[in-house]
Structure 1
């Protein structure tokens, strides 16, 4: 199972025969693990493997797709649109990438940004100047507002928590340059979706590229589906690859076999 298949306390109470859950990944906030433990339900997970590599590759795919208008031009050509070159792409060299979060994902994203000749700002609620200085080419931003107002591309790399929920709210979006792009491959609720939709509809920023959403799968009537070229969307598959799936499913089978043998492995507390 994944986080989108939730097992809250209310559901666990209705499953008196449930004894074991195995989830892909070492973290799953869709499971009420405290309640599961109180019911004697064992929860096992898997390793991430190369998931961070896969994800930061996808982050750059989204960035390049957005700023180079790849999806828009592909669609125009395939729809027999007689217009040729319908959008003017942005370049990356000399632009500023703002990273909100400089951990296992933010750091390799910064390394790739250096290869493009970009300036890099970084900020998070817990980031220190000393930690930022450890990453070549990264400049510590003294505040979220400073990062947002000085970045051409802002990419989010935070875990979801009460502190980071809607860390990009309406007031924050108002600080972005009109030419800026917002990228989110972490968790949908990091951004106030309603506020972002308003900003995109009013053309207050250049665009957004999103892999995660408040509700997944994204509802068919969700406004993001109707924003056209203002937003580039992917179905929360930044972590997905053949190699990752093989690892996840192999370890899931191992988890089930170990539980049936009475010796659970990769137990999530």
Structure 2
């Protein structure tokens, strides 16, 4: 059975990883190191992680392409929180003999809940009003009504379905589109299937809930955004590259859409000089969709189980190419 010597936990931005699992259960031979800041470039990742035989990655915060995996000669177990991780080259790891294990997922509820927080914040200008009150202002904006408005859900999977149900409960007219939409499921939920063009052109609020893939990258670009009304709102809590960010910035600056609320970006953490930090009519969140105490309990507890199972010679939740 393999001995475990050095374990790294990556990207613990909130410095809470030690609280969400009993890391004292690691073998006496194991030394645990927690990284609380992004490691940076592939070269920096290799330099920082070269001594470690076990690495726990938090979602896609740190990428592990082939060049990084090949640069870590001591790496034997790579654990990702969640059941899959698009930022890990699993095929390269397998070729190297590195076991990749996952954890249970966060579930749809946390991201769906945050989506509605962003919708309300944008529709009622809550961040701007809150900041204004602290400076002595009072009632500077007029909010948007959601009751009777149309909610367009792009992607009616687990998260999209939860978001749609809340919209229905609020008295919204809910429509949905995706390339492979299950129309029977949509109608059973109370959602009307429509074409993408109709959804974009007629929805007061468009919310995106798609997995990132080659097919969905850049799915909403300049032409699609041009279909939206000047007062419509766009919400993205899926993945940044699903939207053409340059096109969205241009639309916001030109006033051809009413506003955007984003939790995800093509580059994360968002650089200090990112144009999003000064973009008009936006509500921004730092990828909080899955960041809840319950989710972290699942992620870190399962990650510890993965490590212990590997040390016992019986890896679990192994991800294959």
- Please state which band the TM-score falls in when normalised by the shorter chain: over 0.9
Q: Deviations over 1:191-243 (max 9, x none)?
A: 00000001111111110000000000011111110125x11011111111111
Q: What is aligned with 1:140?
A: 193
Q: What is aligned with 2:316?
A: 265
Q: What is aligned with 1:253?
A: 304
TM-score by length of 2: 0.80
Q: What is aligned with 1:161?
A: 213
Q: What is aligned with 1:189?
A: 241
Rg larger in structure: 2
Q: Would you say 1:98 and 2:152 are equivalent positions?
A: yes
1:132 Cα deviation from its structure 2 partner? 2.0
Q: Are residues 234 and 261 of structure 1, via their aligned partners in 2, closer, same or farther at CA, if it must alter by over 3 Å?
A: same
Q: Would you say 1:58 and 2:114 are equivalent positions?
A: yes
Q: What is aligned with 2:180?
A: 126
For residue 129 of structure 2, the aligned residue among 73, 76, 81 is: 73
Structure 1 unaligned regions, length at least 5: none
**How many pairs were matched up?**
263
Q: Deviations over 1:106-161 (max 9, x none)?
A: 1111110011100011000111433322222x1010x2111100100000011011
Q: What is aligned with 1:28?
A: 85
Paired with 1:39 and 1:176, the residues of 2 have a C-alpha distance of 48
Give the aligned CA root-mean-square deviation in angstroms.
1.0
Q: What is aligned with 1:241?
A: 292
Q: Would you say 1:215 and 2:272 are equivalent positions?
A: no
Q: What is aligned with 2:53?
A: none
Q: What is aligned with 2:104?
A: 47
Q: Which runs of 4+ in 1 moved over 3 A?
A: none
Q: Would you say 1:202 and 2:254 are equivalent positions?
A: yes
Paired with 2:218 and 2:305, the residues of 1 have a C-alpha distance of 37
SS in 2 for 1:105: helix
Q: What is aligned with 2:282?
A: 231
Which deviates more, 211-220 or 120-129? 120-129
Paired with 1:36 and 1:30, the residues of 2 have a C-alpha distance of 12
1:61 Cα deviation from its structure 2 partner? 0.3
Structure 2 unaligned regions, length at least 5: 1-56
